[in-house]
């Protein structure tokens, strides 16, 4: 759904060009990391670990991205970058601590979850490292979504169970939200940030668990505690530290 909407807007409405030769390979590799491995493994992992651990795992992405950038792209990591990472990670851990006390997880689930995060981080760095020759972001995002999903089709055919699929209003609302708000809206902003700087963009992922806790409070009445408050404060300080580094660099 998301891929079709993006390609319709990109190629029909905006009349943007199709990918050419090498760009198809680049998009396919990005889709393999970002959709096939990351989303595919993450969905499997969430059946084996708690939601609290799943949301906390997203906060490991900036760490992986910074480390991979240092090795792959030879980006220099300054002390303030490390300080920002530490502050943000402490904040997320504090906010998630009450949930982690009652969390469940299997060793296999944790391994799959970590692997999915590494795949996402590799995809992030790969995207930022490529020369896209002015190819529109909607085109890249649309095709990588569809191609990544095509790579997942063999797994779908092998594991599909008709009795576990209920196509009711909840299903279609959730699917529409994931397709439009997440795959189109959020990912478009993410790809825009990656064009600027992958390390700078990665720090904003620390907000994902924090917003997750806040949304859970208002939608399903999960309690907010002092741990949540202190966690938010640490994340904000960490993000401010990261952004202040960029301003001084400029």
pLDDT digits (tens, 9 = 90+) for 75-124: 777 787 788 878 888 887 887 777 666 666 677 888 898 899 999 989 98
Determine the pLDDT at residue 102.
65
Dihedral, CA atoms, 54, 56, 57, 60, nearest 10 degrees? 170
Determine the pLDDT at residue 224.
76
Residue 84 to residues 65, 235, 237, 245, Cα–Cα distance (Å):
14, 9, 8, 10
Determine the pLDDT at residue 22.
93
Q: Can you tell me the mean pLDDT for 122-138? A: 90
Backbone angles phi, psi at 40, to 5 degrees: -60, -50
Q: How far apart are CA 19 and CA 89, in angstroms?
A: 38
The band of 244, judged by pLDDT with boundaries at 50, 70 and 90, is low
Determine the pLDDT at residue 243.
66
Which of 71, 63, 69 shows the shortest CA–CA distance to 117? 63
* pLDDT value at 222 more than 80: no
Determine the pLDDT at residue 138.
92
Q: How far apart are CA 17 and CA 6, in angstroms?
A: 13
Average pLDDT of the chain is 83
Q: pLDDT tens, 165-213?
A: 888 888 888 888 888 888 888 888 888 888 777 777 877 887 777 787 7
Hey, which of 27-36, 37-46, 61-70, 161-170 has the most confident mean pLDDT? 27-36
The band of 246, judged by pLDDT with boundaries at 50, 70 and 90, is low
- Classify residue 143 by burial, with Cβ atoms within 10 Å: 0-12, 13-18, 19+: buried
Determine the pLDDT at residue 30.
95
- Classify residue 5 by burial, with Cβ atoms within 10 Å: 0-12, 13-18, 19+: middle
Q: Residue 224 in contact with residue 217, Cβ under 8 Å?
A: yes
Domain of residue 38, residue span:
2-249
Q: Token digits for 12? A: 């029909």
Q: Residue 152 in contact with residue 40, Cβ under 8 Å?
A: yes
Q: pLDDT tens, 48-70?
A: 887 667 777 777 788 788 788 87
Q: How far apart are CA 46 and CA 76, in angstroms?
A: 34
Report percent pLDDT > 70 for the chain. 92
* pLDDT value at 40 more than 80: yes
The band of 31, judged by pLDDT with boundaries at 50, 70 and 90, is very high
Looking at the structure of the chain, the number of domains it has is 1
Q: Residue 145 in contact with residue 6, Cβ under 8 Å?
A: yes
Determine the pLDDT at residue 188.
85
* pLDDT value at 234 more than 90: no
């Amino acid at each position: 759904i998301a891929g079709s909407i993006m390609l319709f807007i990109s190629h029909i409405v905006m009349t943007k060009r199709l990918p050419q030769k090498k760009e198809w390979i680049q998009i396919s590799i990005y889709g393999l990391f970002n959709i096939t491995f990351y989303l595919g493994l993450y969905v499997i992992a969430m059946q084996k670990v708690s939601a609290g651990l799943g949301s906390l795992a997203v906060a490991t992405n900036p760490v992986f991205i910074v480390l991979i950038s240092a090795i792959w792209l030879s980006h220099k990591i300054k002390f303030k970058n490390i300080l920002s990472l530490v502050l943000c990670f402490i904040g997320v851990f504090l906010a998630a601590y009450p949930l982690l006390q009652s969390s469940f997880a299997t060793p296999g689930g944790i391994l799959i979850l970590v692997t999915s995060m590494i795949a996402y981080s590799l995809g992030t760095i790969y995207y930022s490292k490529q020369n896209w020759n002015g190819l529109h972001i909607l085109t890249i995002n649309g095709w990588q979504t569809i191609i990544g999903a095509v790579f997942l089709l063999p797994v779908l055919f092998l594991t599909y169970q008709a009795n576990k699929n209920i196509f009711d209003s909840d299903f279609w609302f959730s699917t529409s939200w994931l397709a439009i708000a997440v795959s189109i809206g959020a990912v478009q902003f993410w790809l825009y940030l990656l064009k600027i700087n992958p390390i700078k963009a990665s720090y904003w992922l620390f907000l994902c668990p924090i917003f997750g806790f806040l949304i859970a409070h208002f939608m399903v009445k999960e309690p907010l505690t002092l741990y949540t408050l202190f966690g938010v404060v640490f994340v904000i300080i960490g993000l401010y530290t990261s952004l202040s580094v960029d301003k001084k660099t400029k």
